[in-house]
Structure 1
Amino acid sequence: MKRVSCIDIGTNTALLLIADLDTQEGSIKPVFHKQTIIRLGKNVDEQKIIDHEAMQRLISCMTDYKHISKEHDVQQIIAAGTSALRDAKNRMEIIDEVVRACGIVIKTISGEEEAALTFSGAVAGMEELPETFSVIDIGGGSTEITMGNAQTITGSVSMNIGSVRLTERFFSSQPPSEEEFNAAKEEINRHLTEHLPPFFEAREHVYGVAGTLTTIAAVVSGLEQFDPEKIHNFRLTCEQVGNLLDMFRRQTLNEIMDSGIPEGRADVITMGALILHQFMKLLGTESIRVSIQGLRYGMAWKELQKLVSDGETTNSA
């Protein structure tokens, strides 16, 4: 048994999973979760630089996660940076500052690596998986779609369409104007039309991860407080997503927050819902299964496989 912290540093949020990796059972046993909205990718799409304020938010979050990991007797911290760090010209400076501040080493992973890890993480521990399925991960800076089965990945794509990136690029206000909304929709359709054809064979079995999916599922299910057990494997229909999108695109920021969307996600949920709706509509997917897992579970799964292959089967507390 090995206890690890897996940290997913995205464009909008930083997610922490502390888990015990059981090599005898071959399973991931979650111990602790935390989510922090850091908006690391603020203005990165335009400027290609992570600014000082965003860096300080990241350092504060990583310092917090380091303390939490120590309190839980974690043996190893694994941290991965995604779209915002991939795009930032000063990413090495940011990574070095985090190391100096708290000792956490962040590895910037490619879109292809992110997709592969998210694919395995999204369905880790699930039983009776379909023969072929897809996983969609709508992030703040990018969206990954991956297809395969329980044993292997057969197709993958990473696109620079994310809720934060496209909100900054197309929306000047909330609600957006009709022209802004349609321009964003055209951009999303352009990316999806180019990349979706290989995934049509898996249209009937799709799993979705990350904040856009889990937030929309929570609103649809009428939860006053987020309950991971009720969200995990929740069936979300294209009609439900479309109805919420129609509501969000006409609401002010305060009205969106009043409907249950947390601050820090409320200003990008319209775009996130638009990306999700167009994906489901263009692929012809009537419903999608929401997974509360994702990249950090994939990181844990990869470490578990490494331990198993190295022959580490000791079962210490």
Structure 2
Amino acid sequence: MKAPLLASIDIGSNSVLLLVGRVINGKLHTELQRKETIRLGGALDSERNLEPSAMERGLECLRRYAALIAHIPPKHRRIVATQTLREARNRDAFLHQAQAILGCPVELISGEREAALIYQGVSSLLPASPERRLVVDIGGRSTEICLGQGSHLEKAISCPIGSVACAQRFFGDGVLHAERFAAAHAHAHALLRTHMADWNNATWEQVLGSSGTAGAISKALHQAGYPAGEITRPTLFQLQQQLILAGHIDRLPLQGLREELRPVIAGGVSVMCAVFDTFQLQHMRIAQGALRHGVLFDLQQSIQSGAAPAA
């Protein structure tokens, strides 16, 4: 019997991502991927309501995705929403319309559940290994950090700081002064420290960066002549210095940086620098897996076991 076609959608703070594929003998065979930068995370007003224009951008994206997965039964789809909708006071209005468009539930998952699914997505696309892994995923409004061995997750935290939120708070006018980076770093570092009280004795052999911020930083470094698919402490802090020398996001010399990432790259670099300092990292490799992969693998396991997916 042929493995069923599955679809997962990650409604994130910066992007909405679609993944369609089959899991055959534990391996993902991807048939379709889509990513649209919607930037919901930059559209929360002073009362933490999602602005109507942003809500409509998100719903229009989901209408396009619904057409792409119309041939997939609703029971073989899984859609999750993350930090921006965790924060939004009017999230129910968005979630209700999204569910009607997609024809299946839209799950608002907790930060800890998001971290667990990220770890599952990353580990599922890696070869079996006894190495202990630290996985870092800097999103638009939250950062998930996971520690595990092989496919087994041991610890996970979700910290309410991300590239969009940091960029809005410290670089909203586009100015990239050293003092702004210092303030952003201190803020992110303090938030991270409050969430990792029981991590003092944690150890790992491998550090992996998942999702958009890590990928964008790695690509910017590769365009500057550094090895592809990795971030090191010296190159990361050199990139921060390059942003400071540019002085403004309109003067960024970064080749290969997608235009929609220009307003948030300083926030992403600041959070990544704080992660490197908090965990005393020297090197990070970019992972292929991310939340959408974990959601799809989790769905496949739920179908096999006949159980409902964990919320």
Q: Does TM-score exceed 0.5, indicating one fold?
A: yes
Kept in 1: contact 2:219–2:257 (CA 8 A): no
Q: How many residues align structurally?
A: 300
- Structure 2 match to 1:216: 217
State the Cα distance separating 1:104 from its structure 2 match: 5.1
Alignment of 1:288 onto 2:272: no
SS at 1:184's partner residue? helix
Q: What do the CA deviations read for 1:245-300 (whole angstroms, capped 9, x no partner)?
A: 21123333233375221122111111111111221123121111111321000001
Q: Cα distance 1:151–1:215, how it changes in 2: closer, same or farther (>3 A)?
A: closer
SS at 2:94's partner residue? helix
Structure 2: runs of 5+ lacking an equivalent: none
Identity of aligned residues (%): 27
Alignment RMSD (CA, Å): 2.3
Mapping 1:147-186, distance limit 5 Å: 147-186=147-186
Aligned amino acid, residue 246 of structure 1: Q
Kept in 2: contact 1:137–1:208 (CA 8 A): yes
Kept in 2: contact 1:257–1:263 (CA 8 A): no
Which stretch of the first structure deviates more once superposed, 165-174 or 40-49?
40-49
Kept in 2: contact 1:117–1:299 (CA 8 A): yes
Kept in 2: contact 1:134–1:199 (CA 8 A): no
- Structure 1 match to 2:18: 16
Structure 1 residue runs of 4+, over 6 Å off? none
State the Cα distance separating 1:143 from its structure 2 match: 0.4
- Structure 2 match to 1:114: 114
The whole-number CA distance in structure 2 between the counterparts of 1:106 and 1:144 is 20
The whole-number CA distance in structure 2 between the counterparts of 1:55 and 1:255 is 31
Alignment of 1:261 onto 2:263: no
Q: What do the CA deviations read for 1:92-151 (whole angstroms, capped 9, x no partner)?
A: 111112234453532110001100000010121311434311111100010011111124
The whole-number CA distance in structure 2 between the counterparts of 1:204 and 1:268 is 30
- Structure 2 match to 1:227: none
Q: Cα distance 1:291–1:18, how it changes in 2: closer, same or farther (>3 A)?
A: same
Structure 1: runs of 5+ lacking an equivalent: 225-229, 312-317
Q: Cα distance 1:199–1:9, how it changes in 2: closer, same or farther (>3 A)?
A: farther
The whole-number CA distance in structure 2 between the counterparts of 1:110 and 1:190 is 21
Kept in 2: contact 1:249–1:270 (CA 8 A): no
- Structure 2 match to 1:315: none
Alignment of 1:97 onto 2:93: no
SS at 2:262's partner residue? coil
Residue among 268, 271, 279 paired with 2:267: 271
- Structure 2 match to 1:202: 203
Kept in 1: contact 2:10–2:16 (CA 8 A): yes
Mapping 1:45-194, distance limit 5 Å: 46-70=46-70, 73-75=71-73, 76-103=76-103, 105-194=105-194
Kept in 2: contact 1:4–1:300 (CA 8 A): yes
Which stretch of the first structure deviates more once superposed, 73-82 or 86-95?
73-82
The whole-number CA distance in structure 1 between the counterparts of 2:172 and 2:88 is 23
